Amino acid sequence: MSESTPRITAQYLEQFSHQTVRLLGKVRQLRGEQATIDAGGNVSIYLNRDSHLQLNHAVEIIGKVQNDLSVRVMACTDFGPENEIDFVAAEAVVDATHRYREIFYEKDT
């Protein structure tokens, strides 16, 4: 019943394999249907038709973590040029999400 999409960074990918998560990262590479974002580490993402990413923008991805630790994108939101986003705060949010998970998501695994 959990509709939550915990926020993670690259290091948590393995822990959340096969789950739907949120990542906030900087767009580093665009290659057609595939892209690479930097979310505390490089993450390969597979886009769907609605995604329009821009290089060096910050983007929030909602997607499912695959076996090979890439993410299949379900939805994405452009957060604007990457220098406008405070990534230190964003990393603190990810840290808080897992440290105090009782207010963020149900740990059912």
Partner 1 sequence: MDYGNQYSTTSYGAGGGQNGGGFMPGSQSDSAAGQKGKYGKDTLRPVTVKQLLDAHHPYPDAEHFMIDDQETTQVTFVGQVRNISQQTTNVTYKVDDGTGVVEVKVWVDSEVMNEDGQDPKKVTEQAYVRVFGRLKVFGNKRHVGANVIRPIRDFNEISYHLLEATVVHLQATRGAPGDAKAATNGASNTNGMSATAAAQLAGITPSARKVYECLRNSPQTNEGLHMQDIALQVNMDISAVMKAGDELSGVGAIYTTIDDHTWAIMDM
Strands 20-31 and 7-8: parallel
CB 45 within 8 A of CB 37: yes
Candidate ranges 31-39, 40-48, 64-72, 99-107; the one touching partner 1 (CB under 8 A): 99-107
CB of 54 to partner 1, least distance (A): 14
DSSP state of 95: H
69 or 96: CB nearest partner 1: 96
Secondary structure percentages of the chain, helix, strand, coil, to 5: 20, 40, 40
Give the interface with partner 1 as residue ranges (CB under 8 A): 2-7, 22, 58, 75, 77, 79-80, 84-86, 89-90, 92-93, 96-97, 100, 103-106
